[in-house]
Amino acid sequence: MIEKSDIKNLQDIVGKENVKSDKAHLLAYSYDATKEHYKPDVVVFPRNEEDVSKVLKYCNERLIPVVPRGAGSGFTGGALPSKGGVILAVEKYMNKILEIDMENMVARVQPGVINRNLQREVEKVGLFYPPDPASQDYSTIGGNVSENAGGMRAAKYGITKDYVMALRAVLPNGDIIKAGKKTIKDVAGYNIAGILVGSEGTLAVLTEITLKLLSKPKLTKTVMGIFPTVKDAMNAVYKSLAGGANPVAMEFLDNLSIRAVEEKFHKGLPTDAGAILISDIDGNVEEEIDYQISLLKRYFNENGCKEFKIAKDEKEAADIWFARRNASQSITIYGTKKINEDITVPRSALPKYLEEVEKISKKYGVKIPCFGHTGDGNVHTNVMVDKDNPQEVEKGYKAIEEIFKMTIEIGGTLSGEHGIGLSKAPFMKLAFSQEELNLFRAIKKAFDPNNILNPGKMGLD
């Protein structure tokens, strides 16, 4: 429990105006997208890396938990203060793009920079930062790195870890470290930057991030395929990619998701379709685009596609993408509580995975609409229940546990982009052996021997 003297000492470090313990601030920083609530004892807004170092050193000596936080948009409770203590909120001051290096095609940013703001700024000079999580309009780069966020463009361009070249970070004892370099090649020493990416704020607090940029493609086209069954669509996904197609995105909606979007927005979607696949193709010359579209059309048609549509212009492309971008809010017609998981499986296992989800849905009598990034095997699996019906909620969580077990059995993983946090921590023992969990805990102890930094997360306690 934080004492009044602790609050006074923190005020001395970062300034009185940057330490908040009033009810409004404590409430505002007590939740994230999980809608679970854990109240911190105090919210601290560091002005710079030196403040972060001093706050961590003080809290480490006093054994006060510290939880780094960006936008608080995570789906697994990674930024929730489950043990109380200090919320270290970087969005107020540490939110600057420090450099866009045209010659080396890199950007240096502070952790509080909004993803979409970075994308806009680098695109002004003809460059491109591909990772585009659905939360890009408000999620921070620091949070994206901590959760190793993905997005719709991951099928072609990969995820956040593929763009992190170097980091500056503060260890729980206050030590400042540099991990990685601006250079394209760097094999000197352990890959500490790689360990910190996806560590969910449990090992260090990020203060500066160096990101690789690409040249922005000049052309993009959107296509859509309508399939009679989910199995047909999933076969089309992995066979297209194995056959040489290289789409930016390969997104899908199952029948439940299609019906939900249509009921909510009346867009003329085919509610009898088993699934829809939506894909973007990009490149620098028309011939390249046309060849890629011809590959998709071939493999879609060979796997039962009933209609293959190419968007004529940006407006038509936006209309096609509308269904996918609004699927999450639409499926609330099936229940007042969404148990949302971001399962990822090998692409060739997609047909099997969705067949098994359908069986589990029938077994527990709950609707499980699925949509997501099938280009990289990442399926957003949503168990919909009535939050006011305890028996139905219990069935929902039993269904999720069975889905996790099945996912591991077919070679998949618990999370493709949301991370583990609090909500998936109980399932870590399904995905990892005791020896592997012991190694994770040893790494945590090496960085954070007093377990002050984001404790209670990832099943490490």
Tens-digit pLDDT profile for residues 323-363:
999 999 999 999 999 998 999 999 999 999 999 999 999 99
204 and 110 belong to one structural domain: yes
223 and 207 belong to one structural domain: no
Position with higher pLDDT, 187 vs 205: 205
Q: How confident is the model at residue 230 (pLDDT cuts 50, 70, 90)?
A: very high
11 and 62 belong to one structural domain: yes
68 within domain boundaries: yes
Residue 232 belongs to domain spanning? 219-323
Burial classification of residue 398, based on how many CB atoms lie within 10 Å of its CB (0-12 exposed, 13-18 middle, 19 or more buried):
middle
Cβ(440)–Cβ(67) under 8 Å? no
81 and 101 belong to one structural domain: no
116 within domain boundaries: yes
Does pLDDT of 114 surpass 80?
Answer: yes
Q: How confident is the model at residue 35 (pLDDT cuts 50, 70, 90)?
A: confident
181 and 287 belong to one structural domain: no
Cα–Cα dist 451/91, whole Å: 24
What's the whole-number mean pLDDT along residues 364-381?
Answer: 95
328 within domain boundaries: no
192 and 251 belong to one structural domain: no
Percent of the chain at pLDDT above 90? 95
459 within domain boundaries: no
Phi-psi label, residue 440: left if phi above 0, alpha if psi -120 to 50, beta otherwise = alpha
Task: Write the DSSP assignment of 365-388 as a string of letters.
Answer: T-B--EEEEGGGTEEEEEEEE-TT
Predicted pLDDT of residue 461: 84
Residue carrying the six token digits 């970075």: 118
DSSP one-letter code for 426: G
CATH of the domain at 132: 3.30.465.10
Q: Which of 89, 121, 155 is the last residue of a domain?
A: 89
Predicted pLDDT of residue 377: 92
Please tell me the number of Cα atoms within 13 Å of 49 on its side-chain side. 18
Residue carrying the six token digits 């998949």: 412
177 and 228 belong to one structural domain: no
Predicted pLDDT of residue 34: 86
- Cα dihedral sign for 5, 8, 13, 14? positive
Cβ(32)–Cβ(74) under 8 Å? yes
150 and 198 belong to one structural domain: yes
What's the whole-number mean pLDDT along residues 451-455?
Answer: 98
451 within domain boundaries: no
71 and 107 belong to one structural domain: no
What's the whole-number mean pLDDT along residues 361-378?
Answer: 95
Predicted pLDDT of residue 416: 87
- Residue 459: phi and psi, rounded to 5, are 65, 25
- Residue 86: phi and psi, rounded to 5, are -100, 130
196 and 300 belong to one structural domain: no
437 within domain boundaries: no
Q: Which of 89, 116, 147 is the last residue of a domain?
A: 89
CATH of the domain at 346: 3.30.70.2740
Does pLDDT of 1 surpass 80?
Answer: no
Predicted pLDDT of residue 443: 98
CATH of the domain at 25: 3.30.43.10
- Residue 122: phi and psi, rounded to 5, are -75, -30
123 and 200 belong to one structural domain: yes
29 within domain boundaries: yes
Predicted pLDDT of residue 134: 86
Model confidence over 159-192: pLDDT tens digits? 999 999 999 999 999 999 999 999 988 899 999 9
Cα–Cα dist 248/413, whole Å: 22
What's the whole-number mean pLDDT along residues 236-255?
Answer: 95
CATH of the domain at 292: 3.30.70.2190
Predicted pLDDT of residue 80: 97
Q: Which of 26, 60, 89 is the last residue of a domain?
A: 89
334 Cβ contact list (under 8 Å, min separation 6): 256, 260, 367, 369, 384
Please give the tally of structural domains in the chain. 4
Structure-block tokens of residue 185: 């090649």
191 within domain boundaries: yes
Model confidence over 385-402: pLDDT tens digits? 999 999 999 999 999 999
344 and 271 belong to one structural domain: no
Structure-block tokens of residue 237: 């996904």
